[in-house]
Each structure stands twice: as C-alpha cells, then as structure tokens.
Structure 1
Amino acid sequence: MHAVILAGGKGVRLRPYTTTLPKPLVPIGDEYAILEILLHQLSRQGFRTVTLAIGYLGHLIRSYIGNGSRWGLRIDYASEEAPLGTIGPLLTMRDRLPDDFLVMNGDVLTDLDFAGLLDEHDATKPPLTVATYARQVDIDFGVLTTKNGQVTEFTEKPTLYYQVSMGVYGVAKEALAKYEPGLALGFDELVLDLLAEGRHPREYRFDGYWLDIGRPDDYDRANADFPHLRTQLLEGPIRVVPGRGEPAPQASASRR
C-alpha cells in the first residue's frame, strides 16, 4: 500500500497561480491544498507510506508537508534536477519501491477508490493498470471523410466519446526494469512500449467525480465544486489495514 505522487511539474498552464506556488499546493476552497486532500484520502484508504516526487519549488512542498505525520503517513521525497516526464521519476527511486504500487499526479481532484485500484492491480498482475474516465467531445462542424478527392462520408456536428487516462495508475516495478534511471520517460512511451511487446495494460474504469486541475478554468471549477463535494472527498470510508488498526486520529486534511 505505497503511493508515489508526482509533484514536480512547473504547472505552466495554471499560471499565474503557479508563479509562486507549486501546483500541488494551490488552495482548494480556501481551506486545503490539492496535495493535502490527496494525502488525507490515501490515509483513510489504508496507505501508510508515500513518496513525493518533487522538482519545481519542491522546497515549499517539503516545508509544508513535512514527514506526513499529520495524516498518519510516512512520507519521503525524490527530487528531480531536470524534468523527467511522468514515468522518469519512478526510475530514480525504483530500488526502494515495492513490487506493485500506486502512482498519481499531484493535481487530480477525485473520489476514486485508490486502494480499490491497487487491489485489482495486485490481483490481476498486469504491468500497468490505468484509471480511465469517459469524456465526450462535441464537434461544432460537419465532419467529412474523404478519399482520392471524393467525399465518402458526412456527419453533422458529431459527438465523439473517449476513455481518457485520469493520471492514476497501478504499476508493477518489473515493467520499469529495462529503462535507464536519470533519463526522461513519459507515460505515453511506457504504454506504447508495453503494447508493442504484447503486454496490454489493464483498465480500471471510473464514473465518479474527477477533475484534472491543469488550467485556470479547471481550477475555478474545482473551487466552485468543492463546497458541494467536501464530504464526498474528505469523509469517504475508512479502510482498516490488517495488523495496523485504523488510521491515526490526526490523519485529516489540515486547515490552512
């Protein structure tokens, strides 16, 4: 029950909010940082150890989060001197990771059952399990299919449906074995390599609340949604870990 939170990006799309704060520390609902909500959820779901992969303004994250005792967690840190992509930071800490673990972006707001995803990943043993979410894209134009200068199909303002990655994964350490630490590696590269090898990642489909806080519009929506979702996000079911009892009493999102 170990989680790695990717918290090293510069958050360029979220500027000016991220000019002086790393994206995982921007406040939600004027009370909590995004990262606090994630740590609170992980603690309630039975996770006890977390690695924060930090980079841009990482010293602020270290200072604010500390050792994780506020949430009943043991937190350590992995620093990247240069951007390493989504998967690259995992290679630098590979030797101290368990065989299977959770990886998540530090800017997601969701009520996903993280422990449930990792349980299914552990039970089915794929190299990678990807949490997915249904998205639809409305096209405001008539769409033509053409071939050899002729129109072969026409659809007026279609709606396209996709299953998109939520930025939350179950990862088998062995899936990372062939890559060299210190080099950049993206999630896209890992998935394409696995597909080329015939080792298909597993899907963990989710239809609850999910928001990737990547742009100012997303951030505004998160703050508008939070008052209505506060209980749903912060007071989900507590998972008792065998032999460890319930999460520590202080394992709550601390008020800013």
Structure 2
Amino acid sequence: MIGLVLAAGAGRRLRPYTDTLPKALVPVDGDKTVLDLTLGNFAEVELRDVAVVIGYRGEAVVERRAALEKKYGVKLHLIDNDKAEVWNNAYSLWCARDVLTEGVILANGDTVHPVSVEKTLLAERGRGRKVLLALDTVKNLADEEMKVVADPGKGVRRITKLMDPAEATGEYIGVTLIEADAAADLADALKTTFERDPDLYYEDGYQELVNRGFRIDVAPIGDVPWVEIDNHDDLGRGREIACRY
C-alpha cells in the first residue's frame, strides 16, 4: 500500500497565494504546507512510497521534490494531470489509476488532518472492505460539505454536496483507503463519470460505483480537528489546527 495525494488544483479562492503555487503548497504552519503535513502523516504510518498528482503550477512540486523526499523519508512519484485547470478531480484521480493497483490511502491536497485519520483507516482495514471513507460524524453540516448517507448493513448509499444536511450520516473529509482489488472498478467508474461531465468530482465516481452495486464503507474519525481549505477563512482555520500537531 502507498500514499496518494491529489495536488493538481489551482485553488483560485486562495489568491494571491495560488498565483504562483498549487493549493497543496500554501503554507499552513510556518513554512509547512498541506502536502508537508500529509507526507508526514504517511511516513508515520510507514507509507514510504507516495504518488502525487500534479497539474496547476506543478513545477513548484517538482522543485521541492528532493527536499520533501529527504525531509520525510519518502519516495515521490509525480503524475501529471494535463487537464487540471479545465476539468474537475474525477479525472485527476483517474490519472492515478495505475497506482491504485498497489492499494492506496488517498488524501486530498487541501485537507489538513492529523495522522489519527490514517491510523483509523488502517485499523478498520479488512473484513472484505475494499473502499473505506474517513467520515466526520460529529460536525454540524451545511450546504457546502461533501455529505454521506451510510447504512450499517449496506455501506454508503449516497455521497454528494447536493443533499439536505439533516439526511446525512456525516461528512467525507477527503481521505480514503482503497484496496488494490478495487482499482479496476474504481477506474472504470471514474472514467464513466468524467466522460459524462468533466466538471464532476471523484466522489461522483464513488456514487457511480455504489449505483453499480459496489460496496463502499465508512470509518468514523471521532471528534478530530480537520479542515478542507477552499478559501481564506478555511486557511485561517487550517493554520489554527496545523500548529497543534
């Protein structure tokens, strides 16, 4: 199993930081970035091979590659998303379809979270579960969150932002454990998803899988501080959180 980070996004709502950097390289704790924090998490759970999907301002990741490898004791494999500025992240994850065959813990490049999330996913691994979503069941939800309805006996039934928050079991935080034997099914679902509409999210690919009868499970992360950084308010919150670990 290896780590996988989606770091191709432009993060236009974080300008001027993202005028020259991808969102994953915006500082959140001194000179540490979301990518730094995620690589540190992966190293702590012994995921020493990490694939990073790059796109917008990808040269900034290339420039830091050797320093990041040395600092965190990891080997980085960079995957280019040639449509990062025009298509959404269903295509971005599909670009990593070959590394999915190794089994991965996937982390969005804009999610500040502690290593306890990765540890929870690994602890819940097994028992025939092929895809495990890290789920926040504590947070009060609103319209913008990626909401999930999960049934204890059947797994995920719905995953979408377009849902009444009162119906949701919790929020998907942008971290997933994907077993190797789910790779082909997921890649095909992602391809169907972005061919239907290139603006769709990879979570829409998860929904496509569910619609096909594939079981996706959830792993509640408990009362854990985390944030998805989309705008400057989120960045402020991310900086408050990141300095704690």
The alpha carbon displacement at 1:69 in A equals: 2.9
The alpha carbon displacement at 1:61 in A equals: 0.9
Higher strand proportion (structure 1 or 2): 1
The residue that corresponds to 1:136 in the other structure is 140
Larger radius of gyration: 1
Partner of 1:124: helix, strand, or coil? coil
- Provide structure 1 residue ranges, at least 5 long, that are not aligned to the other structure: 140-158, 234-256
Q: Does 1:15 align with 2:15?
A: yes
Q: Distance in 2 between matches of 1:77 and 1:18?
A: 20
Over 3 Å counting, the alpha-carbon distance change for 1:115 and 1:136 in structure 2 is closer
Amino acid at match of 1:176: L
In 1, are the aligned partners of 2:229 and 2:235 still within 8 Å (CA)?
yes
Higher helix proportion (structure 1 or 2): 2
The residue that corresponds to 1:86 in the other structure is 89
Deviations 1:125-167 (A, max 9, x none): 334211111321479xxxxxxxxxxxxxxxxxxx947401100
Kindly report which structure 2 residues correspond to 1:1-256, keeping only aligned pairs within 5 A, or say none. 1-66=1-66, 68-83=69-84, 84-111=87-114, 112-121=116-125, 123-134=126-137, 135-137=139-141, 160=166, 162=168, 163-171=170-178, 172-178=182-188, 180=191, 184=198, 186-207=201-222, 208-227=224-243, 229=244, 233=245
Compute the TM-score of the two structures, normalised by the length of structure 1: 0.72
Compute the TM-score of the two structures, normalised by the length of structure 2: 0.75
Amino acid at match of 1:81: D
Greater RCO (CA < 8 Å, at least 6 residues apart): 1
Q: Distance in 2 between matches of 1:177 and 1:214?
A: 26
Which range moves more in the overlay, 10-19 or 175-184?
175-184
The residue that corresponds to 2:150 in the other structure is none
The alpha carbon displacement at 1:115 in A equals: 4.2
In 2, are the aligned partners of 1:46 and 1:115 still within 8 Å (CA)?
no
Aligned residues, how many? 209
- Provide structure 2 residue ranges, at least 5 long, that are not aligned to the other structure: 144-164
Q: Distance in 2 between matches of 1:211 and 1:8?
A: 18
In 1, are the aligned partners of 2:2 and 2:102 still within 8 Å (CA)?
no
In 2, are the aligned partners of 1:127 and 1:174 still within 8 Å (CA)?
no
The residue that corresponds to 1:150 in the other structure is none
